[in-house]
A and B are shown apart, each in its own frame.
Chain A
Amino acid sequence: AQKITQTQPGMFVQEKEAVTLDCTYDTSDQSYGLFWYKQPSSGEMIFLIYQGSYDEQNATEGRYSLNFQKARKSANLVISASQLGDSAMYFCAMREGGGGSYIPTFGRGTSLIVHP
């Protein structure tokens, strides 16, 4: 079974609108971390935002916020006021455990296209 599920292969949004990229995860660990990465067409992987399993508040980084719903095991990325430069692949990832096993597991990604 997949540990990270991203059900939206592709998403479209109008410039300046907000968009939500879905991510659900599967783990039996109590301690874990959730990440979102951006991969523009140039190919590099860019870390965007992190949410720890014990964090009570949703993480925010500028126009990025993570809508963390622990009971539903979802960690959706919200991008506010989309810009043309937000067009990219977005990957959700999870790191399980706190005992030194830091191996990140990635979802299959969502391709976001921002229209002018």
Chain B
Amino acid sequence: DAGITQSPRHKVTETGTPVTLRCHQTENHRYMYWYRQDPGHGLRLIHYSYGVKDTDKGEVSDGYSVSRSKTEDFLLTLESATSSQTSVYFCAIQTTGSATGEAFFGQGTRLTVV
């Protein structure tokens, strides 16, 4: 258990409203990621972080922003939610201390924009 918690687990929101998803880790890993999962697309990287206040864009970053003010928390914000952002969102951390460096994932957040 890599100690990753996502909140909320489920959310329904209206088009045009801001939404913030939270990822919390308990093991001080440096690298954290936000992915979205959609049928037929697999997991696509939205944003990632390589340290406090160090973030960068991924493949599908338009309409999303992130912040990491503490090592343990990585926040994903949808500034003005659209129906195309209805998806399952996964946070992941990278275990750089292991020989394999596999990513561990949170439980996911199912977001529905109506």
Instruction: Tell me whether chain B's interface is mostly helix, strand or loop, or mixed.
Output: strand
Q: Does the CB pair B42–A43 fall under 8 Å? A: no
Chain B residues lying within 8 Å of A108, measured Cβ to Cβ, are 40-42
Chain B residues lying within 8 Å of A71, measured Cβ to Cβ, are none
Q: Does the CB pair B45–A44 fall under 8 Å? A: no
Task: Give the residue name and chain of the A residue nearest to B9 (CB).
Answer: A43
Chain A residues lying within 8 Å of B102, measured Cβ to Cβ, are 35, 47, 50
Confirm or deny: B94 has a beta carbon within 8 angstroms of a beta carbon on chain A. yes
Interface size class of B (residues with CB under 8 A): 20 to 34
Number of chain A residues whose Cβ lies closer than 8 Å to a Cβ of chain B: 23
Contact partner of B43 among A47, A91, A95, CB < 8 A?
A91
Q: Does the CB pair B100–A44 fall under 8 Å? A: no
Task: Give the residue name and chain of the A residue nearest to B107 (CB).
Answer: A44
Q: Most B CB atoms within 10 A — which of A45, A52, A105?
A: A45
Q: Does the CB pair A43–B31 fall under 8 Å? A: no
Interface residues of A (CB under 8 A from B): 4, 6, 9, 33, 35, 43-45, 47, 50, 52, 91, 93, 95, 100, 102-109
